[in-house]
Amino acid sequence: MGMSGVLVPPSKLLPLVFFLGFALEISTAAAYSRGDFPAEFVFGSGTSAYQVEGAAAEDGRTPSIWDTAAHSGKSKDNGDIACDQYHKYKEDVQLMVDTGLEAYRFSISWSRLIPNGRGPVNPKGLEYYNNLINELVSHGIEPHVTLFHYDLPQILEDEYEGWLSRKIVDDFTAYAEVCFREFGDRVSHWTTLNEVNVFILGGYDVGSLPPQRCSSPFGNCTSGNSTSEPYIVAHNCLLAHASVARLYKRKYQAKQHGLIGLNLFVYYFVPLTNTTEDVMATQRANDFFVGWFMDPLVFGDYPSILKKNAGARLPSFTQQESDQVKSSFDFIGLNHYTTLHVKDDPERLKAKQRDQLADMGATITDEMIHTDEYPIIPSGMQGSLEYFKQKYRNPPIYIHENGQVLPRNSSLHDTSRVKYLEAYIGSLLDALRNGSNTIGYFTWSFMDLYELLSGYETSFGLYFVDMEDPDLKRYPKLSAYWYSGFLKGDNVTSYVISEAQGKPFPVKEL
């Protein structure tokens, strides 16, 4: 989503910040430290292929639906070059080492590895991912790999409309097998689909995300059907995930000793008022946003309210499909950023033509995210994890994304991001102490990159990437120092941030 705000040109910003620097003084009255988390708990940071790699047309890579969307005229930015991690991966891994990352979450570009969507593997693509994985492993950093992050090969979209067709199940499974076979000896954490709920709602309901399908009055697209396609795509995504998980467990897990899961975007929903209607609407919002996937994965079928409100538009599982989808995960990945309010809205159910959001019979108030930065509501982290604990039998969970959005280039002195991370990691610790089965946490994102909705206008990065520098130089922000200190054992609680004259930003001293 686009964020407003005054942006300072990096050419004016960087010299000032670089030569002044900042000192981060940590109070000795600690609230928590890395040592308060289990030793096996993993901390990392993440990116995705199209957002950082660049080299979009190099070495045999073909376009994905994200390339197409970025060049459709609806976006002024694209990922053609992005952060150029394709060429700068060694430098970036060294930054991860300096920061103290224990793990790095990234995605594989399907169209870089298998340019035709199926069939021959691209040797250059294979070489790149082997090199990146080897570089990480050699420095003691766990690779956590996502197979699909909004970037289906365009050739499959053109051939059979991608995720709308059951054909995707076989092609996605074949692609996943290449990844397991080629990288599974070093990669032991696999995620099939990234925030599949948002991918579907954005891509097939409102049309704001690739592949930009929707229908009036729910969005303005050249093709699509917002009333039925989200449910069809979700069903195919669940079947494809289950197929890949079944393959991994049957053929690779015993010898590679890895884990496989699915990732969802999760808001913490709070009733706008304490009326029974708003409380019930909040549960419906959870069922439509989260239960849409979690109920089949845990219980083998969709929530009853989805069946009731969507009717014949919601596909049904055969008994065999239900059995395959149920328990087809070793962990669940969650992307959590903020808390939203829910208000009962029964009028939406009276419309003759309804999309998935209208079927919810509720209004989600999003005024809190139409600002330059997310409000800091850390209770939403603990609340979300408590919900999964209570509702879905406390599955193993990775927080795959969590971070603060700010206008890009605004400052390396990102105190708001430091406060955000401190608060949310603290709330995560509270959830663990209350019995949550969370096993890892990743900030979004490791560096400023090409964002899904806002391009290069906003950023989540611990590292600033100077897009005006031909070499795309990376600079650590205050948040990189804070996170690095935490990862290396510093106690964190209240802090004082002050300028330190004459002290540059020495990355190697992180």
Chain segment 120-146, per-residue pLDDT in tens: 999 999 999 999 999 999 999 999 999
pLDDT computed for residue 98 by the predictor: 97
The answer to whether residue 380 sits within a structural domain is yes
Q: CA-to-CA distance for 507 and 510, rounded, in angstroms?
A: 6
Query: pLDDT value at position 411?
Result: 78
For residues 213 and 201, what is the distance between their CA atoms, to the nearest angstrom?
Answer: 10
What residue numbers bound the domain in which 180 lies? 42-267+329-338+367-501
* pLDDT value for 410: 64
Answer whether residue 357 is part of any domain.
no
What does the pLDDT read at residue 50? Answer: 98
pLDDT of amino acid 366: 66
What are the pLDDT digits (tens) for 417-432? 999 999 999 999 999 9
pLDDT the model gives residue 346: 96
Q: Is residue 432 within a helix (H) or strand (E), and if so which, with residue range?
A: helix 415-433
> What's the pTM?
0.92
Q: How far is CA 182 from CA 89, 189, 256, 365, in A?
A: 19, 14, 12, 45
Rounded CA gap, 151 and 38, in Å?
35
Supply the pLDDT for residue 143.
98
In the numeric block, which tokens belong to residue 217?
Answer: 């009055």
Q: How many residues comprise the chain? A: 510
Beta carbons within 8 Å of 66's beta carbon, 6+ residues apart: 50, 79, 150, 151, 210
What angle in degrees, to the nearest 10, is found between the helix axes of 478-487 and 415-433? 30
Q: Are strands 331-335 and 397-401 parallel, antiparallel or unpaired?
A: parallel
Domain membership flag for residue 68:
yes
378 within some domain: yes
- CB-based contact 460:451 (threshold 8 Å): yes
Q: According to the model, what pLDDT value does residue 373 have?
A: 82
Q: What is the CATH number of the domain that holds 383?
A: 3.20.20.80
CB-based contact 103:57 (threshold 8 Å)? no
DSSP string for 348-380: GGG-SS--HHHHTTEEEE-GGGSSSS----THH
Query: Largest Cα–Cα distance of the chain, in whole Å?
Result: 68
**Residue 322 domain-assigned (yes or no):** no
Quick check: is 84 in a domain?
A: yes
**For the chain, what is the radius of gyration of the CA atoms?**
22
Residues with catalytic roles: 195, 401
* Nearby residues of 312 by Cβ (< 8 Å), 6 or more positions away: none
User: What's the pLDDT score for residue 500?
Assistant: 35
Q: Give Cβ neighbours of residue 441 (< 8 Å, ≥ 6 apart).
A: 41, 42, 43, 44, 398, 399, 402, 425, 428
Residue 230 preceded by cis peptide, ω within 30: no
What residues in the chain have per-residue pLDDT under 50?
1-30, 368, 370, 494-510
In a domain, 106, yes or no: yes
Give the per-residue pLDDT at 27.
33
pLDDT averaged over every residue in the chain: 90
Residues 404 and 374: beta-carbon distance below 8 Å: yes
- Predicted local confidence at residue 365, as pLDDT: 82
Q: What is the dihedral of CA 200, 149, 62, 184, to 10 degrees?
A: -130
CA distances from 459 to 3, 4, 118, 197, 371 (A): 10, 12, 34, 22, 13
Nearest to 395 by CA among 327, 332, 317: 332
3-state secondary structure of 276: helix
Considering the domain boundaries, does residue 258 fall inside one?
yes
Number of domains in the chain: 1
Q: Which pLDDT does position 494 carry in this prediction?
A: 40
